[in-house]
Amino acid sequence: MARIAVPLARGFEDSEFTVPQQRLREAGHELTVFGARAGETVEGKQGNATATLDAASAELDPESFDALVIPGGHSPDHLRLDANAVALVKAAVEAGKPVAAICHAGHLLIEAGVVADRTLTSWPSIRTDLENAGAHWTNQALVEDGPLITSRAPEDLPDFIQAIERRLAVAAS
């Protein structure tokens, strides 16, 4: 099964972390939740979920993961300031590994410099940010462009997770 890295910081959108985490673990995938400091507990913006970070971004080797799943909320904006997290996202995209980003996760993709000339979707409020970074934005539940898998919001989670699972199955075969 796949090894999946999940970058996370305080203020993540609760369901955009918990639902993929549960589904992917149930499917047998190994998830490593990482952020600024290993062992830190971060809380979701709705206050319905917490997560303890398995590793610090500085400790991780991008080659040790098969995919990244980036939840939205305020978390991606905090992670933009973590050079190691940004570098890990950039390395994953450049290596052609699946990188799934939902809602405000586009902020981290922008910081990694991987959105130019790609078609993406996101929460509508970051449309201009994505377009200013060179992306082509569209208002769809799911968009796949190269290694990037993007969705808009929690209501898009079924399509988002299905796309991740499909991409992991193709990579495994």
Domains and CATH numbers, the chain: 3-172 (3.40.50.880)
Quick check: 113 pLDDT over 90?
A: yes
Asked if residue 15 lies in contact with residue 158, where contact means CB atoms within 8 angstroms, the answer is: no
Whether 103 is catalytic? yes
Asked if residue 76 lies in contact with residue 70, where contact means CB atoms within 8 angstroms, the answer is: yes
The pLDDT of residue 170 is: 83
Sign of the dihedral defined by the CA atoms of residues 156, 75, 15, 26, in that order: positive
The pLDDT of residue 5 is: 98
pLDDT digits (tens, 9 = 90+) for 9-63: 999 999 999 999 999 999 999 999 999 999 999 999 999 999 999 999 999 999 9
pLDDT digits (tens, 9 = 90+) for 125-173: 999 999 999 999 999 999 999 999 999 999 999 999 999 999 999 877 7
- The more confidently predicted of residues 117 and 62 is 117
The pLDDT of residue 70 is: 98
Q: How confident is the model at residue 82 (pLDDT cuts 50, 70, 90)?
A: very high
Closest alpha carbon to 12 in 147, 108, 90: 108
The pLDDT of residue 51 is: 97
Asked if residue 88 lies in contact with residue 57, where contact means CB atoms within 8 angstroms, the answer is: yes
Burial of 129 (0-12, 13-18, 19+ CB in 10 A): middle
Closest alpha carbon to 8 in 47, 54, 48, 59: 54
Q: How confident is the model at residue 107 (pLDDT cuts 50, 70, 90)?
A: very high
Closest alpha carbon to 84 in 38, 142, 118, 21: 38
Quick check: 66 pLDDT over 80?
A: yes
The pLDDT of residue 83 is: 97
Torsion, Cα 48 122 118 82, to 10 degrees, reads -40
Q: Which of these is catalytic: 103, 110, 157, 161?
A: 103
The Cα–Cα gap between 40 and 65 comes to 21
